[in-house]
Amino acid sequence: MQSTVEQHLAAQVQWDVIISSPLQRCQKFAAVLAKQLELPLLLNAEIKEMYFGDWEGIATQTIYETEPELLANFWQYPTRYQAPNGESLNQFQQRVMHGFDEIYMQMQQHHWNRALVVTHGGVIKLLTCLARHHKLDDLLSMSAELGKLYALNLTQIENKIHFSEKTAT
């Protein structure tokens, strides 16, 4: 991730703020970068990774061996199936969208135009899915490469947050 950010810095990409998930991996990276770039750092709990309940921290192979049918159903129809005691995809979407409502309001309030949002693969997949106007069941087929920088536009239309893929500027 650091090399990806350095490439964008060399290309004159400038952010006004860094917003991060409070989970350890994201927060540590964001804190180091915010200090290095002398930017404000905000934490937003709503942009944490999806909560997988009983599957949290368990290898996919282990889940496949113990609950193959449920895992297969989840991979094929994530809007209809969820991990036992986990967050549903609809709950996840509502939480993340609430987080981006907060981010949008903060950006408007402080007159910030560009934010670097440090978050997780599931959140990135959700945002990509929304930006491309795909069905939520397509979420797991979206790409979210580790350390890759994704550029999205965040707009508010009729009090609702919308995402679109950013074009070259």
Q: Tell me, yes or no, whether 106 and 152 share the same domain.
A: yes
Q: Tell me, yes or no, whether 27 and 105 share the same domain.
A: yes
Q: Tell me, yes or no, whether 60 and 134 share the same domain.
A: no
What is the domain range of residue 72? 52-86
**Reported pTM:** 0.86
Q: Tell me, yes or no, whether 44 and 69 share the same domain.
A: no
Q: Which of 43, 67, 86 is the last residue of a domain?
A: 86
Q: Tell me, yes or no, whether 133 and 147 share the same domain.
A: yes
Q: Tell me, yes or no, whether 27 and 80 share the same domain.
A: no
Contacts 24+ apart (CB under 8 A), 33-36: 33/2, 33/5, 33/116, 33/118
Q: Tell me, yes or no, whether 38 and 111 share the same domain.
A: yes
Q: Tell me, yes or no, whether 65 and 117 share the same domain.
A: no
pLDDT of residue 169: 44
Structural domain count of the chain: 2
Q: Tell me, yes or no, whether 127 and 44 share the same domain.
A: yes
Local mean pLDDT, 10-residue blocks, the chain (169 residues): 58 84 95 94 98 96 96 94 96 96 94 93 92 91 81 75 63
Q: Tell me, yes or no, whether 80 and 119 share the same domain.
A: no
Q: Tell me, yes or no, whether 76 and 98 share the same domain.
A: no
Q: Tell me, yes or no, whether 47 and 130 share the same domain.
A: yes
pLDDT of residue 145: 81
